[in-house]
Amino acid sequence: MPVPESQTLHERARRGAVHSCAVLLGAWAIVAHAADRLPRAGERYPGGIRAGYTETIVADSLDSPVSMVLAPDGRVFVCEQGGRLRVVRAGKLLRKPFVTVPTRPIEEEGLLGVAFDPTFVRTRRVYVLYTALSPNRRNVIAHYTASGDTALPGSERIVFEFDTHDAHQHVGGALRFGRDGMLYATSGECGDGAKSHSLSSTAGKVIRIRPDGSIPSDNPFPTETRGRHGAIWARGFRNAFALDIHPRTGRAFVNDVGGSLVEEVDELKRGADYGWPIAEGPSPNATLVNPIHSYTHGDGCAITGGAFYAPSTPSFAPEWRDGYFFAEYCANEIRWLSPARPPRVTTFGRSRVPGPVDLRVAADGALWYLARGNSNPTGGAGTGWGMVVRVTRDTAGATR
């Protein structure tokens, strides 16, 4: 499954790394197996995540969801790891998926990322990132043409193919369009840390391509790379699970899942090397770029989704604006980084639904989160506990 850590929590606990996360896992496993105790679509929880804010369960019964995107018209598109791209319209999860891509949910592989073409109104293109199975296992980026709530049959066009996977873990999968109109995507090192640094591999990278899959001439390594490797924008990631780009400033953050020690938020820079496997967390090595924020496994075990709070119509209290929300999967928390350098970090709240994996901010200022319904990294397809949740500020107002 795409929970970004190949070791189970019990393995980590034996090593003494995340005893607190193992306790959380045990508690939430009980909840996850008692389906009648989980929230259901339509339920509201005022003040649960934070005083003055309400969580509304928009959709439930999603099968091992990984990521989502908010469409320009207000629909929500959700990637289920097994290959279905589900649609939530007017608060209802549609029975028929937008498309089912040809993949299988093997450990962390499957349908991983989704993004809308910035010119969607004209092109009707929806981009996805998934693990293709033939002739070899590798992640691909493709787009489909929308016709209402489903894709036109036969409209898939694969625009980019990553290198063949060495393993089923650490495969990244985030997909975002930048303010420059380019498409950015993340990958993991597939269990081979040496490939994170190599310019002869797409593993452990952030790539940057044009929407048609061609490689921009201003990418940072034009003379050091050949073919698809010219798409490399930055390197040195272990498992770059999430990526977001500020809609006004273009500032970009990558959430990189650590090994046995540290989780990172990295500020994405052209041509930068973030250190894996030489470094995990801050390093004195001047050739490497240190994370803008990191935390040890005493404070969680896996960083997942992230989103800048910069909507066209902010509704949260002013102090949250232009900051960066990110999810901690095992602690079931949504945390926040201030826009300052260095940033201040605080916990926004604990998610009502366990296992948050993705975050998005709507134009009206609401914060949306996607959660798997449990924080067990061995969930996998067939565990239909996933939920889409909308967080809004109460009309009475919240002081913070």
CATH of residue 362's domain is: 2.120.10.30
Structure confidence at residue 384 (pLDDT): 80
Task: Provide the percentage of residues in the chain whose pLDDT is more than 90.
Answer: 86
Structure confidence at residue 58 (pLDDT): 98
In a domain, residue 272? The reply is yes
Lowest mean pLDDT among 99-113, 120-134, 362-376: 362-376
- C-alpha distances in angstroms, 380 versus 4, 68, 328? 12, 17, 19
In a domain, residue 112? The reply is yes
Structure confidence at residue 376 (pLDDT): 63
- Cα first-last separation, the chain: 36
State which residues form the domain around 44.
Answer: 9-393
In a domain, residue 399? The reply is no
Instruction: Say whether pLDDT at 9 is over 60.
Output: no
pTM: 0.91
Residue 274 is encoded by which pair of tokens? 């973030």
How far is Cα 237 from Cα 273, in angstroms, rounded to an integer? 8
In a domain, residue 398? The reply is no
| Contact present, 371 and 356 (Cβ < 8 Å) | yes
Residues 6+ positions from 357 with CB-CB distance below 8 Å = 2, 3, 65, 66, 67, 304, 305, 327, 329, 370, 371, 372
Tell the residue number behind the tokens 């790539």, with chain if given.
Answer: 207
- What's the number of domains the chain is made of? 1
In a domain, residue 54? The reply is yes
Predicted confidence (pLDDT) per residue in 168-179, tens digit: 999 999 999 999
Structure confidence at residue 33 (pLDDT): 39
In a domain, residue 358? The reply is yes
Q: State which H helix or E strand residue 11 sits in.
A: helix 9-14
- Helical residues (DSSP H) of the chain, grouped into ranges: 9-14, 19-33, 120-123, 194-197
